[in-house]
A and B are shown apart, each in its own frame.
Chain A
Amino acid sequence: MNRSIRRLYLTLAAGFGLLMLMLGWWQVVAADDLRDRTGNLQTQQQERLIDRGRILSADGKALARSRPRRVQGQQVYERRYPQGALAAHVVGYTSDERGKTGVEDFYNRYLSGSFGTEPLLQRLNLREKRGADVQLSIDTRVQGVAEEHLAGRRGAVVALDPSTGQVLAMASAPTFNLQTAITDFPSIPTEGGPFLNRATAGAYAPGSTFKVVTATAALESGRFTAGSTFRDTGRYSTPGGDIRNFGGNVFGTHTLTTALTNSINTTFASIGDDLGAARLGETMEAYGFGERPPIDLPDDQVRSSGRRGPGDRLLPNDEQGIDVARVAIGQERLLVTPLQMAMVAAGVANGGTVMAPQLMRRILDRGGSEVRRATPRPVGEAMDAATAAELAAMMENVVREGTGTAAALSSAGVTVAGKTGTAESDDPNRNQAWFIGFAPAEDPVVAVAVVIEDTSETGGIAAAPVAADVMRAAIEAR
């Protein structure tokens, strides 16, 4: 019987061997995957034990920090958002029940101190469990002005530094209080979609602001200059129906500069047909259309701009039978984000080079030494510097004498360049008012995009003054 006993022992020992393998799978091989699963109470507890890094504004204000508290003899940390709702969509929240959003999510590795050799040093008790501070390029003074203007309305504001792509302000309304989001989420009224970051994920018809893109393609083609002349009869026929001007105006013979200044639909429609889908598509691509802007926010909070509809082909260049005339004036199911339109303005301001938008300015460990620093990175060449200067001059004219006079900062001695837009809908009270632009025109330090939803007013009336104040704040904050 001893042979049977021996075999039975070996069988059971093999069972224990299998248990060791299975245990090794969970504790060694799959451990990281398990930690990353949402709803993992263990990970949540570990996060509570970490002194999570602060999120700071460019002007040194704490947008998020952690406060220690003792529970059952253990030091745990609670997240605080001292600025409440300020830049809520950018900062984001970190909560056990709802996960993470915004910068809290995107830079979690740094904020939680699990970058580089930190986890190893912490495990060996050579380093405390502490996260690094993330400083944003968001300036609370610029951000504050943007949010004041948006209060009580729906819309978004994006302000960029055109030469670096750094985001100076990014506001979306309606908004919510970050502190409430982690303590009493259900109490936040959901009307109007307060959790949607309209600046990066709102889809709007660009209206006439898109004419800046069309003008870029026109000038770059070499077939048009700022002085090229056009004749307007108040009507431009396309297979998709006639295109008319805003208010039924007829402008007669005029230059390209005048066409932009007065936002003449018929002229830009004819330019669109003249250029063709492929060339217009190329310029759109150079500005960043058709792809998610490479901003440092979680993917699900950023969307791409372009044509939406059957097939979802974002750029017109590979499509047959497309109404290029309507694309050229910002119609034909074009849907864009305010961030993308701010990148258009910044591209013109920066001599044609479109920079990748970036929220992070630098990351500092608790000793104050720099862990990472923002590196400006071009994402596209929309035009050469000469063309950019020509287009900038045209956009200056829009603010000097055209539809965008409300954006002027002449009292501050600053020249503003810009373009208005009014995306009309069937309900005259539900237009989308746009303004994109930059200042000072001769040496731009700020580029903006402003969109106001559900207004009966035009972009020149509803959006241009907001842009003016935001740009002034940005110039003063320097």
Chain B
Amino acid sequence: MTPRTRELGLLVPAALLGVLGAATVASVRADDLDLGPLPGAIGVFAVFVAMHVALRVRAPQADPYLLPVVGVLVAIGLVELDRISPALAADQAVWIAVGGAAFVATIVLLPDHRVLERYTYLIGLAGVGLLLITMIFGTRINGAKLWIQIGGGQTVQLGEVTKILAVVFLAAYLRDKRELLAIPTRRRLGVPVPPMAALGPVLLFLVACLALVGLLNDFGTALLLVGVFLAMIYLATGRVAYTVIGIGVVLVGCLAVYAAVPRIQTRVDGWLQPFDDPQGQGYQLVQSLYALGEGGVFGPGLGKAFLVTDDGGTVIPFLQTDFMFSAVASELGYIGGVGLLLGFLLLIQRGFIIAAQANDGFSKLLAGGLTAAIGLQAILIIGGVTRLLPLTGVTLPFLSYGGSSVVTNFVLVALLLVISNRSRAGHVPSRRERRRMEREAAEREAVAA
């Protein structure tokens, strides 16, 4: 079985999950069979088929498991959004179509991701530039400046795009300098110190990002960027010491931020003592925990948890963006919550396998960095809604409502698949090469005849 046939086969359960989920939600809502969400489900499935076809044509050897796992996550997210409000799910379906188009465009226009290495600094600058644009033209929502208004009342979150650009820049740069970094030239107080000349630009980039993100009041993206940076430094150098020192610096930085920013203070207090002020600062988190507790081990089932009030509002504020995980775990219980976590674990496992299988340092760093970004982002927000970590406003990849997040993460997956295709096709000739070989063989036969 070719990888692509395997992929197509695995997409079927994902599609069934989506259709059955939507049907369950609709039947709970209407007490009889409602075909309302069916066209949407078919449309989204068509988007995935289009992505599959693009892979079949341009990246036939790419990992067959990644897209189906994404399909499952997207299906769960859509069903849950439909359950919260059908209008949200309809919106999200459109964004998934846009994301699918971006995915196909990436696969078609970027047959070889290694060209990105050529534009290392341009990409780094673009990342900082996007944050600058957000800072200048951004709209403040809920205290943080993350959104750019575009036509028609739509908003875009450029910070999400920065996530990918940062990984690409770091992969290219660290690939170049990893030997230099891996061998510290001197020690200070027993601590290995990397050569500053090599580390300088990348630190400069990081500080620029953090400064901008700090100005935007987007603590979640800041943590994510730092986390990805540390993960990639570790991948590039293999030195635990750097990471440990880095985490120490981050902790000190967090304390400084905690001391300096009142908004962060109230957030952290709401995290440490959510039940002290359940109607105020702790409200969101406490409602999330109540929803989780009510879900129990098995959960009441799709469409049956108390997530939407009589007047149509959500019980947990920002349910459809920040608290999607709570919504799923409240309806499907601990079993469902663990299932979703395993889904993400499977996703990053495939990502890291792609990184391990890649043939060159840049590909490994890029695949590892992109995967780490997805994994860290999921841990950040799920940790936030379960009180393991302070609550940050990052989205839950593939589930949260919002176009920027969907499109960015689809492109991210496309990049992983391009890398995978490159490495796995190492000895296997591409379709074009195969045709040429066939043609040559035919010519040889003709000559022989």
Contacts and interface: CB of A to CB of B under 8 A. Distances in A.
Interface of A: 1-9, 12-13, 15-16, 18-20, 22-24, 26-28, 30-35, 37, 39-43, 45-46, 71-73
21 contacts: A1-B236, A1-B368, A4-B235, A4-B238, A5-B368, A8-B234, A8-B368, A12-B376, A15-B379, A16-B344, A19-B341, A19-B379, A22-B386, A27-B333, A27-B337, A28-B334, A31-B293, A31-B296, A39-B279, A42-B294, A42-B306
B235 A8 contact: yes
Interface stretch (B79-87, B144-152, B348-356): B348-356
Contacts of A31: 292-294, 296
Given A3-B238, A5-B235, A23-B337, A30 B388 contact: no
A41 B383 contact: no
A5 B291 contact: no
Interface string B339-377: 001101100110010011000010011001000100110
A27 B296 contact: yes
A15 B275 contact: no
A34 B338 contact: no
A33 B238 CA distance: 45
A19 B306 contact: no
Given A15-B383, A16-B344, A72-B308, 6 more contacts: A5-B356, A22-B387, A27-B297, A34-B293, A37-B278, A39-B279
A45 B234 CA distance: 49
Nearest to A23: B337
Contact of A19 (B290, B308, B386): B386
Q: Which 5 A-B pairs have the closest CB atoms?
A: A34-B293, A42-B294, A45-B306, A27-B334, A9-B352
B291 A42 contact: yes
Interface string B304-338: 00101010000100000000000001000110011
Given A12-B379, A39-B278, A23 B338 contact: yes
A3 B235 CA distance: 9
B231 interface: yes
Contact of A23 (B235, B238, B341, B352): B341
Contacts of A27: 292-293, 295-297, 329, 333-334, 337
A72 B361 CA distance: 57
Contacts, number: 130
Contact of A8 (B290, B333, B352): B352
B394 interface: no
Nearest to B31: A73
B199 to A, nearest CB: 18
Q: How many interface residues does chain B have, given as a range? A: 35 or more
Contacts of A6: 352, 356
Contacts of B8: none
Contacts of B287: 41
B348 A12 contact: yes
Contacts of B352: 5-6, 8-9
A35 B231 CA distance: 39
B59 interface: no
A449 B326 CA distance: 55
B382 interface: yes
A6 B348 CA distance: 11
Contacts of A3: 238
Given A6-B352, A35-B294, A71 B310 contact: yes
B256 interface: no
A41 to B, nearest CB: 6
A427 B337 CA distance: 68
B291 to A, nearest CB: 6
A40 B337 contact: no
A9 B348 contact: yes
Interface in B10-36: 29-31
Residue in B287, B294, B337, B348 with the greatest tally of chain A CB atoms within 10 Å: B294
B398 to A, nearest CB: 15
Nearest to A31: B293
A260 B355 CA distance: 98
A240 to B, nearest CB: 49
Contacts of A9: 348-349, 352
B292 A23 contact: yes
B289 interface: yes
A445 to B, nearest CB: 48
B159 to A, nearest CB: 21
Contact of B289 (A1, A8, A26, A73): A26
A35 B364 CA distance: 47
B234 A73 contact: no
A26 B292 contact: yes
A7 B239 CA distance: 11
A41 B306 contact: yes
B309 to A, nearest CB: 8
B383 A22 contact: yes
Nearest to B330: A42
Given A37-B290, A41-B315, A26 B379 contact: no
A43 B345 CA distance: 32
Residue in A3, A4, A30, A72 with the greatest tally of chain B CB atoms within 10 Å: A4
A20 to B, nearest CB: 6
